[in-house]
A and B are shown apart, each in its own frame.
Chain A
C-alpha cells in the first residue's frame, strides 16, 4: 500500500497505527468524549509526543471529504484544529478507514447528552456570554463567511478546558459525518429533525444558528426537561407550539436572552436571525424579535385516524401513518372539501389538486405516492416522506450512498428519483435559505437523475445518480469493501494492492467504479465505457485498459501488478489487429510496457490511429485479393473438371493458324519456283 498508512507497530500490548509517519494512533485508547456519532475518537500522538484526537470516520456516515479544504481555511480558535487527515489501515475493523487528526487542549464537553442532559457545566450568565455566546458568534461568522456549515453544534460536541474554564469554548468535529446526521432531533429545526439523519442535506447557516439557539437553551435550563421524550414527540411539540415555546416554555431567562432565542429559534427559516442580527444583538442593538405568524386554523376539524385536526401541518405530519385512510378521504373528497372550504387556503387547495392529479397519473393504486404527494401539498417545507423514508431533497444522495454501503436496497431511492419526488419537493420548498446557485445546481442534478436513474446499463442508473448527488461518497464498489476510495489515486492504489494479492481479475472496472469515475473525473471513463459495457470479453478488457491508463496518466505512477494481471488476459485483445506480424510487434511492445507497469504505454500500443488505419486498409485490400483468387480458382477448377475438352478450342485455333502459315510458305515457294522456271525458259 504505497499511499495508505497504517503500518502497525507493537508497543506494549497495543498496536499503534501510523498516519504518514507523523502520527501514531492507539486503537486501544479510546477518547469517547470526542466521538461524533459512530465516528469514534482515539488517542493519537504526534512526533513530539503530544496528544491529538484521531477520529476514525465511519464509512456509513459519509464523511464530508469535499469540505476538508474549506474547513482547513477557517481561522478560528473556537474550532478543533485539523492537523492532518488520511487513510489508514484500521486493525479493529480489519479494513481501511479515513482518519481526521485534530488538536485541542479541551478536556470536557459542556454537556453530555444521552437523549437528554446528564451533567453540565455551571456557568453564570456573564460567563455564558463571554465563554459561549461570544466565541460561538465569532466562529459562526467565520464559518458562514466561507459558506461552511458545521452541522454538529450541540452541547456534547462543544468543549472547554477544566484547567482554564474561562477560555472560550471549542466546537468539535463536524467533518467525519454528514451535517446534522449525528444531531439529536431537538437540535435540528422541525423539517430537518423529521428527516432521516443522513438525508438532512448539507444544511445552511441558519440551521447552525438554530442548533446554537437550542444549545444555548440547554445551557440556560437547569433541569433535564426533554429526557425520555421521543424524537417524534419533540417534533410534534415543536410543530404544535413552535420551537421557541417548546424549548423555552415558561423558563425565567434573562430578557435579552429571550430576544436572542426568539430570533434564533424561529421556525420560519427566512425569518430566523442570521449572524449579522445576532451580532447586532450582542453589540447591544435594539432588535425586535421576529413575530411568529399565526397558523391558519380550519373552521371545522378534520378527522383522520381517530384524531381531530385543525391545522394542515399537523395533519401532514401524521398522514404517512395510514395511507389506506388517506386514500379513502381523498377518494370521497372529504379532505379536498376540508382544505378548500374549512381551511380556506386557496394556495394549499391548488397544490392539493395538483398533487392528486399527479398521483392519479402515477397510478391510482399507489397509496404511498399519494401520501408523498398530499404531504408535499399540505406542508411543502417538510421533508419528503416516501415509503417510510423521510428525506430532505438535498440529502437523498448521502442517504443512497449510506444505503449502498450498508448493503440495503436502493429501489426506493430509484423510485424517488424517477418519479421526480425529490425534484418536486425542492421546487415547492420556498422557505429554504440555501444559496440560489446551490439550489439551481441541485435542481439540475435532480433533473439529470430523473432521466438517468431508470437506466440499467453499466456506468449508469441509480448508482451513478447517487454519486452525482453525493460528492462526499467514497466508491462503494464491493471490490473496495475493505478500502476507502475517494479519488482516482485511491482506485489505482487499491487495484494495485488487489492485483498484488491475487484478488483481481482483468475486469477491474465494475458498475460502481465507472459511476464513481463519472462523478470524480468523467474524462477517465467516457471513452472507455462503451468497451467496458460490451458483451465481448476482449472489448471489456480493452476498455479496462483504457480506463486504467487514463487514471494512471492523472496519477503519474506505474502499476506493475495491474499491468501483469491485464497482460495475462490480453490474448484476445491483440485480435483487434488483422496482421499477424503487426500483432506480434504490438505484443512485444505491450509486454515491455507491462514489465515497467506503464499502463498508458500498453494502451497507446493499441491506440495508434495511423497503425490502426493502415492495418484496416491493408486488411480490406487483402480480403479483396483473397476473394478474387477464390473466384479465379473456382473458374479454373470448373474448366479443369472436363479434361477431355480442356484447351480444345485454343488447340484447334492454334492448329489452324499453324497450318495456314505452312500452307502460305509452301505456296510461296511454289510461286517462286514457278516464276523462276519461267524466267529460265
Chain B
C-alpha cells in the first residue's frame, strides 16, 4: 500500500471517529441522567483504555464489556424511576451501586486473565503436538527417501 493511500485511510477513520464522538456528546446531552451513570460507572474502562497499549487493547474491550453489564441494571432502574437528573444522582451516589459496577469491571480483569491463560495453554499444547507431527513426518520421509531428501537442510547441518 502506498503512503498516499494509507494517509487517505487514516483520514477516513479519524473522520468516522469524529462523527461517532459528536453523536456520543449529542446523545449524552440529550440523555444526561443516563450519561451521568454511564460516565461514572464506566470510569474503570476509561482508565484501562487510557493506560493500555495497543497490545492490550483487547483486554480493555473485555473489561468494558463486563463493566457495561454492571451499569445496565442501574440504567434500567433510572429509566423506571423517571429518568431525571436527581434520581440519576441518587443512584450513582449509592455505594452499593459503585461496588457492583466497579466489581463487574474487576471481574473483567479476572475473566481476561483466566481466558488468556486457558487459550494460550491450549495453543501451546497444540503447537507442541504439531511439532511432534512434523518431526515424525520428516523422519518418515528420510526413512523412505534417504538423507538426500533433506536437500539444503542436510548440507547446512553437515557444514555445521
Contact = CB atoms under 8 A, between A and B. Distances in A.
B112 A666 contact: no
A632 to B, nearest CB: 6
B129 to A, nearest CB: 10
B103 to A, nearest CB: 14
A650 B119 contact: yes
Contact of B144 (A579, A648, A658, A677): A579
Contacts of A580: 143-146
Nearest to B117: A651
Interface residues of B, number: 49
A350 interface: no
B115 A658 contact: yes
Given A652-B56, A666-B72, A627 B153 contact: yes
A240 interface: no
Contact of A622 (B116, B121, B141): B141
B95 interface: no
B80 interface: yes
A663 B143 contact: no
Contacts, number: 140
Given A626-B149, A626-B151, A655 B72 contact: no
Given A581-B144, A652-B115, 13 more contacts: A629-B137, A636-B131, A640-B131, A646-B123, A647-B119, A652-B62, A653-B58, A655-B111, A656-B65, A658-B62, A658-B115, A667-B72, A677-B80
Interface in A622-681: 622-623, 625-627, 629-630, 632-633, 636-637, 639-640, 643, 646-656, 658-660, 662-663, 666-667, 670-671, 673-674, 677-678
B148 to A, nearest CB: 6
A225 interface: no
B120 A625 contact: no
B61 A656 contact: yes
B145 A633 contact: no
Interface of B: 55-56, 58-59, 61-63, 65-66, 68-69, 72-73, 76, 79-80, 108, 111-112, 114-124, 127-128, 130-131, 134-135, 137-138, 141, 143-146, 148-153
A530 interface: no
Given A646-B124, A650-B123, A625 B141 contact: yes
A578 B58 contact: no
B116 A578 contact: no
A277 B95 CA distance: 150
Contacts of A673: 76
Contacts of A658: 62, 111, 115
A654 B151 CA distance: 40
A619 B149 contact: yes
Nearest to B123: A647
Nearest to B67: A663
16 contacts: A580-B145, A619-B145, A623-B151, A637-B131, A647-B124, A652-B62, A655-B119, A659-B62, A659-B108, A659-B112, A662-B69, A663-B69, A666-B72, A667-B72, A670-B76, A671-B76
Nearest to B143: A580
Contact of B65 (A650, A663, A671, A674): A663
Contacts of B55: 649
Contact of B59 (A579, A581, A632, A655): A655
B63 to A, nearest CB: 8
Contact of B134 (A619, A632, A643, A651): A632
B80 A659 contact: no
B120 A647 contact: yes
Which of B62, B63, B72, B151 has the most A CB atoms < 10 Å from its CB? B62
Given A655-B58, A659-B108, A666-B69, A623 B149 contact: yes
Interface string A554-591: 00000000000000000000010011110000000000
B37 to A, nearest CB: 14
B90 to A, nearest CB: 19
Contacts of A666: 69, 72
Contact of A652 (B59, B121, B124, B138): B59
Nearest first, the 4 closest Cβ-Cβ pairs linking A and B are A647-B120, A651-B116, A652-B58, A647-B123
Contacts of B72: 666-667, 670
